[in-house]
Chain A
Amino acid sequence: MNYLHSDKIKELEVKSDEIRKLMTGNLFAVEQECTTCSLGVVDFLTLLYFHVLKHDPKDPEWKERDRLILSSDHICLALYATMAHAGYFPVEKLKTLRKFGSRPQDYPTRAFLPGIKKNSGLLGSLSQAVGMTIADRMDHKRSRDKFFYCLLGDKELQEDQNWEAISLAGREQLHNLVAIIGRNNIQTGGLKENTIPFEPVVDKFEEFNWHVLNASINDFDDMDNAIGQAQSVFAKPTVIFVQ
């Protein structure tokens, strides 16, 4: 990954604004739910698709690409706009959101959108990311050629399957797995503190052999530094908690 210099940050800021415009101009007319969540991750997806990820929009099935596993797929509006801006499909297609057979569906659907490797709609993608990382290790041992980034929300940590995955990833020392967990402390039904408590979550991850980092998801430089650190961690998966 290249150093994120000031010119590159300005370039990313411009792209990020353009992606937000694509969302407000094309997608929000159809979808009014989860709009703020989607807007909140645009900076992060911009950083990934235009700086961090090893990928090729012209060859979405390129085997050596990095993988982004979107567990919080209710923010897929941001993903669609970012992928369109990156060249995976024409931006005009964004207007066809939810239409039968169109590329952007309610939830990412691999049959309709090149670059999506799994359909989603149910939570639990961290386990799938663990499986992808283990499969890569079966083929390439412990290489650092490829990274697997899984974006999920803090409310998902109330689901038991994720803790099985967290335990498994730590045991298997999956160094090229990076989980990015949004901590907005709120979910449908109220504040997180009034639902199932999950603190001290940092201690829990460290007990499961994870490297824990914190970063601001809307700060390109901060986020880039965290991902850079995650890529250099030895024999541990990394979790980056983002506000």
Chain B
Amino acid sequence: MSKEIYLNPKIFSNTEETEQLSIHQGFDEGLLIAGDNDERVVALCSDPTRSEKVSLFAKEYPGRFFKNDLAEESMFSVALGMATMGKIPFVLLPKLFSPGKNCEQIKAAMYCNNVPVKIIGSHSGVFAGSYKGTLQTIEDIALIRSMSQMTILAPCDAIEAQKATVYAAQIDGPVYIRFPQEETSIITTDETPFEIGKAEVFFRPDGDVDVGVIASGHLVYNAIRAAKDLDDEGVRVRVLNLSTIKPMDIDAVVKLGTQTGKIVIIEECQTVGGVGSAVAEVLAQIAPAKMRFIGACDMSGISDGRMPHPGIDIENIKNTIRELYVQ
């Protein structure tokens, strides 16, 4: 385990003992800090009384908070209007509406104009709480990655989400931040470094390595746990936290690909056009490697809020790494 990045020392305790916190809460705290730092920060929310709430910011700055209800298509155009008046709007929408229903508005409003509107996907991935099946957003990375000038962040836990939100407010351009609705394990600490566009090695930073794992979002936890178990079996795994999906830390990805020649991608979205595709686009050109993709492979979300997705649980991750290791 990397000492320099000050990860949570309880990370290898029983899952029940590892502190669980909603990444949404970390975002909420980060938005309040961003609001304290810059009076131009405003928030738009479809319904603050429900789970996509921005309670801390709305309570502290009611005059900079706007409830758009379910006018979800116009919401991003409204945000563009605010941005042209000098605001830095954070737009919260749940479910597949964002990005999805509003892709035309995002295209026209945000990246065509390169305004500093921040899109918050608060129910992304398969762990979307009560939002199941067709309401789950697992196509978001593929959709929004195709939009130029868009920065895409997937914080691994609540603490990193707080930092990501604060830094996102400082970027002069559109940003998409995605996270699940449910509570996830705390991986990092306040001292863990975070920088947009930089990927950090979270497990086995030094020494020889057999397989590289690139994980995004809260699945970094499963990746680290799997790597630790395999360490005991003699399979040396290095885990990279790809918290910024775009722009990608090409140096870190290429370095891992060169060191191992074997890369496993773990993502909580469609593998078609998702994080793995983004990594493969880089490696195929600079450091071709054998790759395996773990994620929603051409399927709709099936989480019922309790059971993990069959492909992204620790056991399956270990099996996939073992299979690639013997190749």
Residues of A with Cβ closer than 8 Å to B? Answer: 63, 69, 110, 117-122, 124-125, 127-136, 138-139, 160-162, 164-165, 167-168
Contact = CB atoms under 8 A, between A and B. Distances in A.
B74 A119 contact: no
Contact of B71 (A118, A138, A167): A167
A127 B112 contact: no
B86 A135 contact: yes
B113 A118 contact: yes
Interface in B226-281: none
A128 B68 contact: no
Which 4 A-B pairs have CB atoms at the shortest separation, nearest pair first? A131-B81, A127-B77, A131-B78, A164-B71
A121 B82 contact: no
Contact of A130 (B81, B108, B115): B81
Contacts of A119: 112-113
Given A121-B112, A135-B86, A168 B81 contact: no
Given A130-B81, A165-B71, 9 more contacts: A117-B84, A122-B107, A124-B105, A128-B80, A130-B77, A131-B79, A132-B84, A135-B42, A138-B87
Contacts of A122: 104, 107-108
Given A135-B42, A135-B87, A138-B64, A128 B81 contact: yes
A136 B66 CA distance: 13
Contact of B78 (A117, A130, A136, A139): A130
A124 B77 CA distance: 7
Contacts of A117: 84
A167 B70 CA distance: 11
A56 to B, nearest CB: 17
A168 B74 contact: yes
Contacts of A110: 113
Give the interface SS of chain A, mostly helix, strand, loop or mixed.
helix
A132 B108 contact: no
A135 B104 CA distance: 22
Residue of A124, A128, A138, A161 most packed against chain B (CB within 10 A): A128
A164 B42 contact: no
A78 B85 CA distance: 25
B34 interface: no
A207 to B, nearest CB: 16
A133 B87 CA distance: 12
Nearest to B109: A128
Contacts of A136: 85
B207 interface: no
B82 A131 contact: yes
A53 B82 CA distance: 20
Given A110-B113, A127-B74, A161-B73, A138 B79 contact: no
Nearest to B73: A161
A134 B80 contact: no
B71 A129 contact: no
Contacts of B115: 118
Nearest to A160: B73
Contacts of B108: 120-122, 124
